[in-house]
Amino acid sequence: MCGIVGAISNRDVTPILVDGLKRLEYRGYDSAGLAVVDAQQSLDLKRSVGRVANLEKICSDVTGTIGVAHTRWATHGRPAQRNAHPHTSSSQVAVVHNGIIENHQELRASQKAAGFVFSSETDTEVIVHQIDWHMQQGAGLFKAVQKTVGELEGAYGLGVVSKQQPDLLVAARSGSPLLIGLGEGENFIASDMSALIPVAQKYIVLEDGDLAKITSNSVEVFDSNGQAVEREIRTSTLSDDETELGGFAHFMKKEIHEQTRAITETLEGRLGANNVLELPFGENAREIFDNTKELKIVACGTSFYAASVARYWFEEFGIKCDVEIASEYRYRKHVVNPGTLFMTISQSGETLDTMAALEMAKTLGYSNTLCVCNVPESSLVRASDLTIFTHAGREIGVASTKAFTTQLVTLLLIAVCLRRRMQGDGRRIDDMESEIVRELRTLPQQIDNVIELEEQIIAMSKHFGNKEHALFLGRGAHFPIAMEGALKLKEISYIHAEAYAAGELKHGPLALIDEDMPVVAVAPNDELLEKLKSNLEEVRARGGKLFVFADEESGLQSDDETMVLNVAPVHNHIAPILYVVPLQLLAYHVALIKGTDIDKPRNLAKSVTVE
Ligand code: AGP
């Protein structure tokens, strides 16, 4: 989603801005731009549709010591040069903006009446005209931004420069993440620290309502009341290693292969000899778990599917668990039972719908808030009572893979801790816990074994290249795994894919079955296997083509209508974590055949920071 970079220095900032935008490309965008105040104190504005590389080509003659830059993901107004950021007013002020201004129509009307001419369809343009208007009334740049943000409704992360004050970069944040990178004789702003890896390790995260005056040698932060405030200086642990392909053709492929290591790191320090340790989750984890009688989990997309798998574990262990999509949760009324833990799951920690759901939940009487997250510096982490990190490492491919499997591992660990409380005083370790711990230890090796099936999955993927639709089937905890498999396929191959609980086929989707509708099924050797086999027979009887990932002891065999790929036997609890991996690989290889932009699929963003 939209990305911001800004810089003020004694050297030319254009290369820093362009490099920063390249580092934000993984977030997804459709156009890019920058504005730099040059030595003649004029605003040099460059914008282009498509890749940052296109912008770079038209920036070779741009130099200056202060500037802002942006990658845009269209919300108001189609992807076009005129809608790309920065937006300017009277060639005086330039603004980059993440978020959405909800009262932009009212502001637009009053600004038009005051004589401002609009050159874009964006909500952002009202911000820059409003700042310009306040400056025309005599305000300095900082005061003008301060007055303007007081008139905005909605969400914003802002970077503002003006040719009238070329020694000042102003930043403001409400609802959209923004941080300040601290350099030596230079300072920066960015929507996430990955943009600043080569130039800053120290940084400050702005809080909602904050404004900052940034020069090359100083940073002053003010809260929403205009009071000067100190914000914690943090140190980033990001490095370039995580953002390089390392011999893989795509980040998605690299991240699928990294799951073995990622899961090992998720488990690191959290397992005792035969039990799950609670202390590594944080000092307050034990108390929060003790307070928990039931669970409400809210998330989006793949993270929602992780929650949906975990619901099977929690309820099997006797913990009532309700799972909901964040964008729905936030717009309805709720009944909250005492002792309900509100849990969010998010790879990025910045998903706006999930964040808004958490803010709402905090007003509703939940016992505590717990976030399962992959990004330490993120908004959800800061807003939650407790965060349990997934330790997946940086995920760059828009299609989530290692983030999902590490979420599942983390959720299983949490489920085991809560199960102990359902069994007794929360301290006693029983055989089932020891068994799950043993199985978890074998999981990285088992993931490796599944990845070794890649050649067979490539052979399978050839049957999908010319298809327009696909069905995915699963039962029990593997129903959400089927949903995740369908999401992966549609995200990166653009093939329309739907998932069904296999028992639902006969209630409608069976009408779709013919030889052009490949049906993918996950068939672990669990208590629902025989039921699933009957559902698969319903497909075969109607001429459907089946592609089944099945336990080698399932008894399912390949024939003319059915391609079975055998997976080694696996313990029931960890089976969903394993069975999603071949579905990720299938989607990847189908997308490769289709020649799509696998790491940055069309219309999608990695970090979804708008509603
Ligand atoms: C996953 O492949 C998707 N790109 C998407 O569904 C993602 O999981 C969703 O937007 C939620 O993101 P989060 O985990 O960062 O909150």
Domain assignment present for residue 608? The answer is: no
* Residue 401 Cβ < 6 Å to ligand 1: no
Report whether 351 contacts 305 (CB < 8 A): no
- Rounded to whole angstroms, the Cα distance separating 577 from 591 reads 22
> What is the atom index within ligand 1 of the atom nearest the CA of 491?
2
Strand segments, DSSP code E, in 65-155 are: 66-72, 87-89, 93-98
Same domain, 295 and 224: no
Find the length of the chain: 611
Contact 323, 308 (CB under 8 A): yes
Distance of alpha carbon 601 from alpha carbon 423, whole angstroms: 46
Q: Tell me, yes or no, whether 609 lies in a domain.
A: no
Please state the rounded mean pLDDT for residues 62-82.
91
Residue 233: how many CA atoms within 13 Å on its side-chain side? 8
Report the pLDDT value the prediction gives residue 532, as an integer from 0 to 100: 92
Give the residue numbers marked as catalytic: 2, 606
In a domain, 257, yes or no: yes
Name the token pair of 87.
Answer: 């937006």
Same domain, 177 and 280: no
Judgement on whether residues 436 and 474 belong to the same structural domain of the protein: no
Q: Which atom of ligand 1 is nearest to the CA of 607?
A: 15
Under DSSP, the state recorded for 78 is -
The runs of H, that is alpha helices, within 372-476 are 379-383, 402-423, 431-451, 454-461
Q: Which of 447, 480, 511 is the last residue of a domain?
A: 447
Whether the predicted pLDDT of 291 surpasses 70: yes
Residue range 542-553: average pLDDT? 93
The verdict on 73 and 196 lying in the same domain is yes
Distances (CA, A) of 48 to 45, 53, 82, 87, 321: 10, 9, 9, 13, 47
Distance 505 CA to ligand 1 centre (A): 27
Is residue 226 domain-shared with residue 293, that is, in the same domain? no
- What is the domain-level CATH number for residue 76? 3.60.20.10
- In this structure, is residue 240 part of a structural domain? no
- The answer to whether residue 611 sits within a structural domain is no
Q: Considering only CA atoms, which of 206, 195, 266 is closest in space to residue 236?
A: 195
Is the model's pLDDT at 607 over the cut of 80?
no
Same domain, 112 and 197: yes
Tens-digit pLDDT profile for residues 167-221: 999 999 997 889 999 999 999 999 988 899 999 999 999 988 999 999 999 999 9
Which residues have CB under 8 Å from 36's CB, separation 6+? 13, 14, 17, 43, 44, 62, 63, 64, 66, 67
Cα–Cα dist 580/584, whole Å: 6
Q: Are residues 261 and 277 in the same domain?
A: yes
Taking 80 as the threshold, does the pLDDT of residue 545 lie above it? yes
Do residue 215 and residue 276 come from a single domain? no
Q: Rounded to an integer, what distance in angstroms lies between the CA atom of residue 563 and that of residue 119?
A: 56
Q: How confident is the model at residue 576, as a pLDDT? A: 97
346 within domain boundaries: yes
Is residue 605 one of the residues assigned to a domain?
A: no
Ligand 1 centre to CA of 560 (Å) is 37
Q: Is the CB of 525 under 6 A from ligand 1?
A: no
Q: Copy the structure tokens of residue 118.
A: 């609009």
Q: Find the 371 Cα to ligand 1 centroid distance in Å.
A: 15
Within 8 A by CB and 6+ apart from 349, the residues are 371, 373, 374, 375, 377, 378, 379, 380, 381
Sheet architecture: strand order including 368-373: 320-325, 294-299, 340-346, 368-373, 386-389
Q: How far apart are CA 524 and CA 157, in angstroms?
A: 46
Cα–Cα distances in Å, from 576 out to 368, 409, 555, 570, 587?
28, 10, 19, 10, 17
* Confidence at residue 1, expressed as pLDDT on a 0 to 100 scale: 65
Q: Are residues 436 and 505 in the same domain?
A: no
Q: What is the pTM of this model?
A: 0.77
Ligand 1 atom 16: residue of nearest CA? 346
pLDDT the model gives residue 83: 94
List the structure tokens of 37. 């105040």
- 300 in contact with ligand 1, CB cutoff 6 A: yes
pLDDT band at 602 (very low <50, low <70, confident <90, very high): confident
Among the atoms of ligand 1, which is closest to the Cα of residue 299?
A: 16
Residues 328 and 362 reside in one and the same domain: yes
Q: Is the CB of 371 under 6 A from ligand 1?
A: no
| 33 and 163 fall within a common domain | yes
Query: Does residue 375 have its Cβ closer than 6 Å to ligand 1?
Result: no
Confidence band (pLDDT; 50, 70, 90) for 246?
A: confident
Query: What is the per-residue pLDDT for 608?
Result: 80
Which of 235, 261, 278 is where one domain is finished? 235
Q: Are residues 202 and 224 in the same domain?
A: yes
Q: Is the pLDDT of residue 401 over 90?
A: yes
- Number of domains making up the chain: 3
Q: Whose CA is nearest to atom 10 of ligand 1?
A: 301
Over residues 569-596, mean pLDDT: 96
Contact 500, 482 (CB under 8 A): yes
In this prediction, residues 28-49 reach a mean pLDDT of 92
Cβ of 378 less than 6 Å from ligand 1: no
Q: Domain end: 412, 447, 482, which one?
A: 447
Judge contact between 237 and 374, C-beta under 8 A.
Answer: no
CATH number at residue 461: 3.40.50.10490
Sequence-distant contacts of 138-144: CB under 8 A, at least 24 apart: 140/165, 141/93, 141/165, 141/168, 141/170, 142/168, 142/170, 142/211, 142/213, 144/93
Among residues 98, 2, 1, 611, the alpha carbon closest in space to that of 327 is found at 611
Contact 336, 352 (CB under 8 A): no
> Which residue range is the domain that position 503 belongs to?
453-594
Would you say residue 538 lies in a domain?
A: yes
